[in-house]
Amino acid sequence: MPAKASRVAFGEALLELGAQDPRIVTVDADLSKSTMTAAFAKAYPARAFNVGIAEANMIGIGAGLALAGKIPFVCSFACFVVGRFETIRVSVAYTRANVKIVGTHAGIAIGEDGYSQMGLEDIACLRALPNIPIIQPADETETKQAVAYAVEHPGPLYLRLTRQNLEPVSPPDYRFQFGKAVVLRPGSDVTILASGGPLFNCLKAAEKLEGEGVKAEVINVACIKPLDEDLLVRSAGKTGRVVTVEDHSISGGLGGAVSELLAEVLPTPVRRLGIQGFGESGDPKGLYAKHGLDADGIARNVMKFLNR
Amino acid sequence: MPAADLARLASIARDCRVQIIRMLTHAGSGHPGGSLSVIDLLTTLFFARMRHDPRRPDWPDRDRLVLSKGHCVPALYSVMAKAGYFPESQLITLRKLGSPLQGHPDRIMLLGIEAATGSLGQGFSIAMGMALGLRLEGRPSRVYCVVGDGETQEGQVWEAAMSAPKLGQPDHPLDNLCVILDYNKVQLDDFVKKVLDLEPVLEKWKAFGWPVIEIDGHDLAQIDKALDQAEAIKGRPTFIVAHTVKGKSVSFMENNPEWHGKAPKPQEAIRAIREILGVTEDDWTGYLERNPETAAVVKELEALEKK
């Protein structure tokens, strides 16, 4: 299976699901060619609504459509859609409107466009809201299953997707399960938790670490909210060291969620890898290297954390 | 509308005004000014216009009302209670711990509320989405959305204003949507004109592609006629500018920014109720003797004072 951006896999999945379920509609804010709903819009023009560059209105319209029985996917860049936090907070979360919020272009991996286009705080914002689960799939297989799940999920949720291609990481028999994390590589010395963009690099890093005599357990935490508390606590108990890796601010994202969980349930040393400060323009690979999210950077930080 | 029906509506609106004053006084906080300015609009919608059934608040073909100016929900609670969604006795639980009558509308806690509103500027977009969804579903329902004047200072309102006449075209135009401006000219801090003037309101909405109807928002016949006209307009949603008076029917509240968000004290409430009912001070005792229901409300308010 070739590498594919999760936004592309999302667009393909939506097109397929749209044929089976007439309740599915899309609402976009002039980015349908980037969020990849354009194919759905072409196939089902009467069910796709481009409301112009007006994300708050887009979200509100989504809420209304949901209250009238539709299953709307409201789509924009992660930073722009979650930037309308107060609208999500009242029109979607508090109203309990069955809106699927899709944020593409997550993280610094979007590259050259620079910070203003990067979704780097979206998980932190939505984690604070009751009633909105957060799902970040890591490859094509997982994305398509997550989109299918989103349609079935009885209530709002947030799908966090990438602009960049993602190498496959899921086993062939993979079944996405809401609220469940998956061990991709068992280990005993350190737990590496990640999802989405940097997950493939974590697996690469684990190979490097193996060469250094460190057995890293890599877990795909596709469901950032709610967390698979049992699996995470069990792994932390086994390894005694936890590293979180995310293309998101180190405040309030996966690292924040895991730290809160472990601090209360099983205090364990945690190292959060991710973005500190603002992002910047650059080529995606160079940016991952600079921010320590490539395989070398992850392996190096793990070794430092383990005092080796 | 026949005179008898107008008289019936006027009587309901009067009762609802009394209930608004009553529940806000019991709550000790809330927004009387805008509740009193919007009540004639809500009364006409609920009792002369909307297809709805208090026994089936989830009836898919019902008409919807989104009160985007959510802080004036006491007015909505008063018409809902009057229509039978819940007992009027429950009105005095407004804003109290455990009550479904939240300070601003909550869709889950109280059946019949269509959307959580109160963060101003949001309800209009929700109403648009509803109107579109109902069109897509082929339902006959109409959607009414009431926005406040100060509320239209929010940017999201203008996103929605620009979008609604175009959304769903050409197959599903939103001619099932009617947006009503409760233009009472007063907002929390001061007169709208002083904070951020909306004028020229009619020209703005017309320029955004809306058919605009201008009425006196306290004239029940005019309200009814405007809603008729709105329903007859095909291919586009309609905007009604309803000129209203903040605090309408209570002399010391009318047109006074001070009463945007302050509950009356019991004695002020009793005076307000007397004015709403159009009774002079001299006739008040006799009136209460002849009207035990009002007397009970007054007694309850007096008891509140002694607490």
Specify the pLDDT at position A171: 92
Return the residue of B nearest to A56 by Cα: B156
Specify the pLDDT at position A162: 98
Cα–chain center distance at B86: 18
Q: How many residues does chain B have?
A: 307
Whole-angstrom distance, CA of residue A119 vs CA of residue A123: 9
Q: Are B259 and B247 in contact (CB under 8 A)?
A: yes
CA distances from B303 to A160, B87, B298, B299 (A): 56, 21, 9, 6
A185 touching B (Cβ < 8 Å)? no
Return the residue of B nearest to A88 by Cα: B122
The model's pLDDT over B127-181, given as tens digits with 9 standing for 90+, comes to: 999 999 999 999 999 999 999 999 999 999 999 999 999 999 999 999 999 999 9
* Residues above pLDDT 70, as percent of chain A: 100
Residue B170, both tokens? 């050409």
Strands A4-5 and A165-166: antiparallel
**What's the mean per-residue pLDDT of chain A?**
97
Which domain range does residue B287 map to? 3-306
Whole-angstrom distance, CA of residue A134 vs CA of residue A55: 19
Residue A100, both tokens? 């699927």
Q: What is the CATH number of the domain that holds B218?
A: 3.40.50.970
Across the interface, do A64 and B131 touch by the CB < 8 Å criterion?
yes
The model's pLDDT over B214-244, given as tens digits with 9 standing for 90+, comes to: 999 999 999 999 999 999 999 999 999 999 9
pLDDT (tens, 9 = 90+) of chain B, 307 residues, equals 899 999 999 999 999 999 999 999 999 999 999 999 999 999 999 999 999 999 999 999 999 999 999 999 999 999 999 999 999 999 999 999 999 999 999 999 999 999 999 999 999 999 999 999 999 999 999 999 999 999 999 999 999 999 999 999 999 999 999 999 999 999 999 999 999 999 999 999 999 999 999 999 999 999 999 999 999 999 999 999 999 999 999 999 999 999 999 999 999 999 999 999 999 999 999 999 999 999 999 999 999 988 7
CA distance A149 to chain B (A): 22
Tokens 């949001």 correspond to B122
Tokens 């109409």 correspond to B142
Whole-angstrom distance, CA of residue A137 vs CA of residue A165: 12
Report the number of distinct structural domains present in chain B.
1
CA distance A57 to chain B (A): 5
Specify the pLDDT at position B305: 85
Residue A37: strand, helix, or coil: coil
Residues of A annotated as catalytic (active site), given as ranges: 55
Chain A, chain B: beta-carbon pairs less than 8 Å apart: 119
A45 touching B (Cβ < 8 Å)? no
Across the interface, do B129 and A67 touch by the CB < 8 Å criterion?
yes
- pLDDT at A308 exceeding the cut of 90: no
Tokens 């609009």 correspond to B41
Nearest to A78 by CA among A50, A49, A55, A111: A55
Q: Are B107 and B49 in contact (CB under 8 A)?
A: no
CA distance A203 to chain B (A): 43
- pLDDT at A1 exceeding the cut of 90: no
* Residues above pLDDT 90, as percent of chain B: 99
Report all structural domains of chain A as residue ranges with CATH numbers, in order of start.
Answer: 4-166 (3.40.50.970), 182-305 (3.40.50.920)
